[in-house]
Chains A and B, each alone.
Chain A
Amino acid sequence: EAQVTQNPRYLITVTGKKLTVTCSQNMNHEYMSWYRQDPGLGLRQIYYSMNVEVTDKGDVPEGYKVSRKEKRNFPLILESPSPNQTSLYFCASSFRDQKREQYFGPGTRLTVT
């Protein structure tokens, strides 16, 4: 089954404790992206990647890191989480020439206390 998977689905952590949210897709997509969803703000892009070893900042990259060492994986790293990073996070992927019709993962709800 074609899908984007994210782990964990739910996470409660404390300020400053490094964490990684994994994202994997099995559709051989070149383009991958991370979004956060907050009430009243919709989805905002954090980082995106056009292909392996090619990443770039989205609209809200502060406090986040990403890497793209393999085509299928695009982990999101929070080196020192803060309470304002409490949010619902989505990973998405698509073919390079169809990057606007993206496939989304199920989401990761992160709470930072």
Chain B
Amino acid sequence: DQQVKQNSPSLSVQEGRISILNCDYTNSMFDYFLWYKKYPAEGPTFLISISSIKDKNEDGRFTVFLNKSAKHLSLHIVPSQPGDSAVYFCAASARGIQKLVFGQGTRLTINP
């Protein structure tokens, strides 16, 4: 049972344009959401997070939006840069539960 789903295995975007990565979840107990970025031959690195009490969190070029009613979150990257090419994992956690639940990942390719 995949509680966190990233339905797009890959996404290709032109440099300078906006990249939008999507994530859906099924567990209404999730109260904290994160995005991790992974380059080849490296471990994932934390990128940005959002608590369920917010609907938006911004950090430089990265913005995460949370729509609790739709159980959907998205990561916007503006403007996209070649260094943003990586696999992006969405993750979620529930209060009092000692683990993260990850999505399958989306491979983002930024074309020059």
Residues of A within 8 A of B (CB): 4, 31, 33, 35, 40-45, 48, 50, 56, 58-59, 90, 92, 99-107
- Nearest-CB residue, chain B, relative to A92: B43
Instruction: Specify the main secondary structure of chain A where it touches its partner.
Output: strand
Complex Cα distance, B91 from A44, in Å, reads: 11
Considering the complex of A and B, which 8 residue pairs feature the smallest CB-CB distances, nearest first?
A104-B43, A42-B102, A43-B102, A42-B104, A101-B46, A104-B44, A45-B99, A100-B93
Interface positions, chain B 21-76, Cβ under 8 Å from A, are: 32, 34, 36, 41-46, 49
- Nearest-CB residue, chain B, relative to A39: B104
CB within 8 Å for A42 and B100 given contacts A92-B43, A101-B46: no
Count CB-based A-B contacts (< 8 Å).
54
**A50:B44 contact, CB within 8 angstroms:** no
Interface residue range, chain B:
20 to 34
CB within 8 Å for A102 and B100 given contacts A42-B89, A43-B89, A107-B43: yes
Complex Cα distance, B65 from A102, in Å, reads: 21
Closest CB of chain B to A23's CB: distance in Å?
11
- Nearest-CB residue, chain B, relative to A107: B43
* Cβ contact of B41, chosen from A100, A104, A107, cutoff 8 A: A107
Complex Cα distance, B42 from A107, in Å, reads: 7
